[in-house]
Amino acid sequence: MIPVKGVEGQKVAVLGLGRSGLVAARALRAGGAVPVCWDDNPAAREAADAEGFAVVDLARARAFEGVAALIVSPGIPHLYPQPNPVVAAALEEGIPVDNDIGLFFRSVATQDWHNYEVEPRVVAVTGSNGKSTTSALIHHILVEAGREAQLAGNIGRGVLDIDPPEDGGVVVLELSSYQTDLARALTPDVAVFTNLSPDHLDRHAGLGGYFAAKRRLFAEGGPDRAVIGVDEAEGLYLANQLGEAPGDDRVIRVSVGRKLTGAGWLVYARKGFLTEWRKAKQVGSIDLRQIKGLPGEHNHQNACAAYAACRSLGLAPRVIEKALHSFAGLPHRSQLIAERDGVRYVNDSKATNVDAAAKALGAFDRIRWICGGLEKEGGLDALLPATASVAKAYVIGREAAQFAVQLRGVETEVCTDMARAVERAVAEAEPGETVLLAPAAASFDQYDSFEKRGDDFAACVRAQLGA
């Protein structure tokens, strides 16, 4: 655990007692604070009470008397579409509002670091799509290279739940826009921006607010190195803002859209080959086509970002290449579930928005596509150019018929539930095709999470195949 610094003897309120909130309360107590906790869920309050925390309704009058700060869990709105009433009360009274990410960055460094031969490093990854795979891939490469590394944040453990890093250790954090938007301290050594596509727009009052939340990771603390995906205008702008000159290699530009040129530090993938250029010379090249855990252009982008981050930490290209081959991928992200009679069954339940689904579709040649769910803002028009490889779509979700109507030019079948969709796709799939779950929608109309949806897909596939 990372005990929180600078809170000894202070009364600190914690709103939201899920995974990150309860860990924050423990870390605050370990740092000498007196946490007072609240969650609208009675079960969460009971869990906090069982650990000896004071449970106080923070919405009641004078709840903030003597409170030094409010720590808010990432799922609780603090500004848009409107602040949670407890957050609004704290803002009104001038109580500093923070989250566990802010507490981590102000607490992770210890006096022991001055005695280490190599100071620990923090790598933080954000972006719209691919940040989980990129984070896990960086962690995997470091471990395979013999480096002490921990994975936390929006993936794995809560940031305050990890062990204090040892000599030369690396902490790899996946950070969502919800986390970067509120944190009062953001000081990674290496910061990674994968890409940007419309998502969570209601929470950030539009695309500009969403990008601004991501940008804070780079603007607030000034990382020693920034790895920036430049295939969107926002990434190009961010890279330009951070670089002092064309050859400034504190910024590593990454692309899978084109060959990058210039005097800077560049990593790009074209036709399945990753290339690294530095000081106008090629210094590394990897054939990504043979790496089974990273299929498709979107995973090649993840590989480029992870490669660049690991190169900035001093790892050699051949060490990174060897580790890439042993990466098995993450569940629910281009995950191969089964292969039978020449047909592959792939679970990409994490493709919850149009951009992620388009990238998933681009990874395979002929697809039996299972899609649908709780549709996000913006409709499906931007997805249509990626559907050329779709032999047929099997649409699930409560509004499956409405979803199917938007897939113009694609043969569709309204199946509504996963079992029916998998049954029909398995029955019609031919050798050389891929049955792909890439919903292009949230899961909450039928499932508690995208993980539950992916697990259901896998179970249905196995049932149909008799596996």
130 is in an annotated binding site: yes
Residue 112 backbone dihedrals phi, psi, to 5 degrees: -60, -25
> What number of residues does the chain have?
467
Cα three-residue angle 421-423-427, rounded to 5 degrees: 115
131 is in an annotated binding site: yes
Instruction: Tell me how far the alpha carbon of residue 127 is from its chain's centroid.
Output: 7
132 is in an annotated binding site: yes
The 10 Å Cβ neighbour count of residue 430 is: 11
Using CA atoms, how far residue 385 sits from 194, 228, 380, 407, in Å, is 22, 26, 10, 10
Residue 96 CA to residue 28 CA, distance in Å, equals: 15
Using CA atoms, how far residue 299 sits from 140, 196, 256, 282, 443, in Å, is 15, 15, 10, 22, 22
Residues 197 and 354 sit within 8 Å (Cβ to Cβ): yes
Q: In what order do the strands lie in the sheet with 225-229?
A: 149-153, 170-174, 121-126, 190-193, 225-229, 251-255, 265-270, 273-278, 281-287
Residues 191 and 226 sit within 8 Å (Cβ to Cβ): yes
133 is in an annotated binding site: yes
The token duo for 409 is 């030019």
Residue 277 CA to residue 290 CA, distance in Å, equals: 22
User: Any idea which residue has 């290279």 for tokens?
Assistant: 145
Decide: helix, strand or coil at residue 430: coil
The binding site consists of: 127-133
The binding site for ATP consists of: 127-133
